[in-house]
Amino acid sequence: MRVIFVSVLLLFLHVLSSPGQLTPQEAQERLGRGINLGNTLEPPYEGGWNNPPAEERYFDAYKEAGFSTVRIPVRWDKHTAATAPYTIQSSWLDRVEEVADWGLERGMFVIINAHHEEWLKSNYESADTLARFVAIWRQVAERFKDKSDSLLFEIINEPYGMTIEQVDELNDTILKVIRESNPTRIVIYSGYRWSNSEELMQARIPDDPYIMGYFHSYNPWSFAGQGNGTWGTLSDRNQIRDKFQTVGQWARDHGVSIMISEFGAMNGCEFNSRMQHYFVYVQNSLRQHIPFMAWDDGGQFCILCRSSNTWFIIKDILIYTTLESPDWFKAEESGEGVHLTWMNMGEYDTLILERGPSVSTIEPLLGLSPTATAWVDSTAIQGYNYYRLKAYLHDTVFTYSYPVRVYHTPATMVVSPDATGLHLYPNPPKEGTIYLDTGDLPAGIPCSWELFDMKGQSVASGTFVTCEGDIELNPLPGKLTAGTYLFLLHETRRTHTLRLVVD
């Protein structure tokens, strides 16, 4: 009884002397948007899988992108003696500390854990096995005890193979060990098996004021983890919404702060489904005020391309998605071009449509009415077209929709002449001279025109006071390179699209 009293007293005095101590409730609000440094420190040996050893520049990239938390999975087994006193190699402790410090020095939250410790999960009932894991955490806690409270400890990653009773016992055991040297550092616990939200809610909540729960979700696994089929129906979305609502309400009812520290969809998934999947996960995290850390392993779940130090477009979904982002964004072929539709979830000052032939080359295409919910792109290029909406909520505050892509064949929507008899001649042009026969267009209406190459770049434009008869297009570039061009004539009723071939 005396030992318990002294421990409680020391904890109370520590809290009094640390008025700025981060609480779990504050952490749930401040951890925000995060990312994993996966497949790096948790292989048997660093650099042993698909990534090279960690570099400091990754953390510059994380910070500049806007992430506030980095979760660093760490394997201790291969760097720890197999017999008592189970000493961790000092070089490995130094290395883990170096990588963690890269995040802390940039003002970020950092999470370190025990990851892929299969030796523990498969032989938990052995007294020596548990003693070794206890010794590991005692050494880790002692090494990092003087770090700021922006460093969080996660007891065990996905303890599959252990029973719920064993995981409850392990959580309590390791928490007591950590408290010997870190009385108020936030410690993160999980449920059993794969640490899904359902398993977190079944776990015994540790009796400690500085704990948080975590869960992982790759639901549905057949899509997100195996790349099968498509995803994004209302029913699909509602399943994720219900998952987050349930675990969020459970956390509020029990006074537990929580996070989702892994989620994602592999890059073998259908593109539009994958983009929407990340978007829906982020939105539901925000709706329930649950901080998130997307899984990035530099491979099938790659977000930061580490060799080139460039980001895949998923980064923008993670950073810029809000509850007011344009949603239900769709792109479909139509007779007039690519038909785009969406829903506006906020009141926008400005709405910009972006397009590119690849995810890395998406650029602003044109400004739309802030209340627009559809547009037909009659200048879409041959092949894949990638689209995204950028919505300004205020002059400098913006959000994105998730990107979509569609394969387009311009010939399916280009008619020359069109139903009005409108056509270009001679086609191909001779010596740069080209005429527009206005056909049956109503006489006297004003018109404007644009000429686009197949990359969607405008190469010429002009206006007519009245659009009637045969009109010479002047100035038209006399040295157009060989290829196919799209000619758009804008009049009061509609836009007409014609094809111009230059040989």
| DSSP label at residue 441 | P
Gap between the Cα atoms of 145 and 141, Å rounded: 6
DSSP H or E run through 399: strand 398-400
Angle CA(486)–CA(490)–CA(496) in degrees, nearest 5?
50
| DSSP secondary structure string for all residues of 274-340 | HHHHHHHHHHHHHHTT--EEE---SSTT-SEETTTTEE-THHHHHHH--TTS-EEEEEEEETTEEEE
Tokens describing residue 129: 């096995």
**Environment class of residue 90 by beta-carbon count within 10 Å: exposed (0-12), middle (13-18) or buried (19+)?**
exposed
Which positions ≥6 away from 408 have C-beta within 8 Å? 333, 337, 338, 380, 381, 382, 383, 384, 385
- Alpha-carbon torsion (179, 181, 185, 189), positive or negative: negative
Tokens describing residue 171: 């959580």
Nearest to 112 by CA among 75, 138, 85: 75
317 and 279 in contact (C-beta within 8 Å)? yes
| Residue 416 φ/ψ, nearest 5 degrees | -145, 110
| DSSP label at residue 209 | T
Gap between the Cα atoms of 379 and 23, Å rounded: 54
49 and 90 in contact (C-beta within 8 Å)? no
- Alpha-carbon torsion (189, 195, 198, 202), positive or negative: negative
Task: Indicate which residues carry an active-site annotation.
Answer: 158, 262
120 and 80 in contact (C-beta within 8 Å)? no
Q: Are strands 495-502 and 363-368 parallel, antiparallel or unpaired?
A: unpaired
Nearest to 410 by CA among 377, 430, 369, 381: 381
Tokens describing residue 238: 């509602």
